[in-house]
Structure 1
């Protein structure tokens, strides 16, 4: 069993970059990303990407994400920069006190390549690259459909779109985290739960890398969890910060994949866990379920965007130290 220190990406923007971008565009942060930046803004994001990769490498993380500094609209970003999507008014996702733009789909979701382009740039900075994408169910849940006209057809279109984006990822990508918080916060009902699993399966099969389907802000309902295990993913993620008991119940009762991701560092609380605490939480889970896992991804339970930069960096260091070989005194 190998413990792999990583995160879900979507990092806080460094303070100096916020100032630079505000000066360049003259707008608040929600208006900074259009998907077609001028050279000065693009250069700023290049600098931020390099800085975020350095922070992860210094922390000793085993998988390094691009950082998603351009993702002002968080998980909705792949849609908000799409040519056939109109960015609507400001909305709040998941009751997390942060506000984003509503992606309104008004045409076919054809290939974009936006995420792949960022990953190509990150591939020059690390040999341990991990991609992060929204899951199809969550992305469809966060969007407004004015084109497809049917929930089932819309989910299928979003899954096909994401599969095309993932297929374009560079060969350097070793792991893909597919983030599906809506499976917890707005769980699909009968029939829809199976379709959600099939949509995740389509995205996973497009990846030439290990795929982790990670949900958070609670535990999956039993049927949703059971259907998710049918998807062709290499690991399922569990948020042990928000609800450790129900997540352990799901694994003990229904099993899981050969590998798991464990959200053991709180992505929204400024209290920094010690490496010992992180190890204890992973040990507790492994003792509580009857499984011998191939890989355990030791990670934050949510994205880290919500944290101040200094706390974000301290939590990365805790994750890295938690899986580092212990040095005997």
Structure 2
């Protein structure tokens, strides 16, 4: 019988109070932030905000709880932006969105950092249903600038090595979401698509958790999708908000792993869906795949919810949790 699991791809908006407090604190501690030392007051504010977003997920009834990635000012580039051998330089547009991050310029060996593992260790004290979130290796390499390795394939391999080492240091987690929007936004060419799959496989192999590769802002090109299925992963995510037809075609034509992640709630639109509408979308997807039965179906927003007002983000969580409950009742 299919299990329906409500979750998110992380990268939450800050609580309103934290936006104000952290803005003031960071304004007074710019030098410390550049040197990598957040300071006690900033760390305390993030700790309180983390506790709040975890409690919000638990109150909403989500089946998987993420740390929130509230410190990720540079979005998916964060794991590199805080690395000692990376220089964060000019402001870059985050794909086609009106959000920006500092260009992480890799200037030395990408050895172990442990930054994300420390976040997860703190979160693991607050929940037993922890889900880790990381940029996938292809997207992280795509968002970065290489001044160390000098070769695209070698750089992707170094990013995969780095992420695998970070994952190996994680506490026990139920699930790992690898976010790979660059597979859609800047699709790899012949040869690179195979290397991207191998890099994803390497990162996924560093954990015993269920691994979900979540592309978004469209559908994968056929060859990219076919190569992705060669990676030893548990689920592929599909952004059904942005593109229904091509995502359905990929599954029908090439199949899918035993689990699937459905991006059915809009992570960027303030319009809050009805749980029944999300459940109906689940039914529609499953109806298009009549011969396919999945062991686990993750119900999630199609993108991170960073872009939403905090109150709307909270409502989206409640909708996802209720939709998963409705889907379970329908199956039963």
TM over 0.5: yes
Contact persistence 2:65–2:129 (CA under 8 A): yes
The answer on 1:297 being equivalent to 2:298 is yes
The 1:321/1:315 distance shift into structure 2, 3 A limit, reads same
Q: Provide the residue aligned with 1:215 in structure 2.
A: 215
Q: Provide the residue aligned with 1:203 in structure 2.
A: 203
Q: Provide the residue aligned with 2:109 in structure 1.
A: 108
Distance, in Å, in 2 between the alignment partners of 1:118 and 1:33 is 19
The 1:156/1:317 distance shift into structure 2, 3 A limit, reads same
The Cα offsets for residues 158-205 of structure 1, whole Å up to 9 and x where unpaired, read as 00000000011002x110000000000100111110000000000000
The answer on 1:19 being equivalent to 2:16 is no
Distance, in Å, in 2 between the alignment partners of 1:278 and 1:106 is 45
| TM-score when normalising by structure 2 | 0.95
Instruction: Say which SS state the counterpart of residue 49 (structure 1) adopts.
Output: helix
The 1:11/1:206 distance shift into structure 2, 3 A limit, reads same
In the TM superposition, residue 28 of structure 1 has moved relative to its aligned partner by 11
The 1:34/1:176 distance shift into structure 2, 3 A limit, reads farther
In the TM superposition, residue 100 of structure 1 has moved relative to its aligned partner by 1.1
Contact persistence 2:236–2:256 (CA under 8 A): yes
Q: Provide the residue aligned with 1:61 in structure 2.
A: 62
The answer on 1:230 being equivalent to 2:230 is yes
Q: Provide the residue aligned with 1:132 in structure 2.
A: 133
Q: Provide the residue aligned with 2:142 in structure 1.
A: 141
The Cα offsets for residues 212-271 of structure 1, whole Å up to 9 and x where unpaired, read as 011000000000000000001000000000001100000001000000000000011111
**Structure 1 residues without counterparts, runs of 5 or longer:** none
Distance, in Å, in 2 between the alignment partners of 1:68 and 1:200 is 21
Q: Provide the residue aligned with 2:40 in structure 1.
A: 39
Distance, in Å, in 2 between the alignment partners of 1:43 and 1:81 is 18
**Structure 2 residues without counterparts, runs of 5 or longer:** none
The Cα offsets for residues 9-31 of structure 1, whole Å up to 9 and x where unpaired, read as 000011111111122222699x9
Distance, in Å, in 2 between the alignment partners of 1:136 and 1:270 is 30
The 1:144/1:204 distance shift into structure 2, 3 A limit, reads same
Instruction: Say which SS state the counterpart of residue 294 (structure 2) adopts.
Output: coil
Instruction: Say which SS state the counterpart of residue 73 (structure 2) adopts.
Output: coil
Distance, in Å, in 1 between the alignment partners of 2:29 and 2:276 is 40
Contact persistence 1:181–1:217 (CA under 8 A): yes
Instruction: Say which SS state the counterpart of residue 261 (structure 1) adopts.
Output: strand
The answer on 1:319 being equivalent to 2:317 is no
The Cα offsets for residues 63-91 of structure 1, whole Å up to 9 and x where unpaired, read as 00000000011100000000000000111
The 1:175/1:159 distance shift into structure 2, 3 A limit, reads same
Q: Provide the residue aligned with 2:175 in structure 1.
A: 175
| TM-score when normalising by structure 1 | 0.96
Superposed CA RMSD in Å reads 1.7
Distance, in Å, in 2 between the alignment partners of 1:40 and 1:137 is 35
Distance, in Å, in 1 between the alignment partners of 2:237 and 2:77 is 20
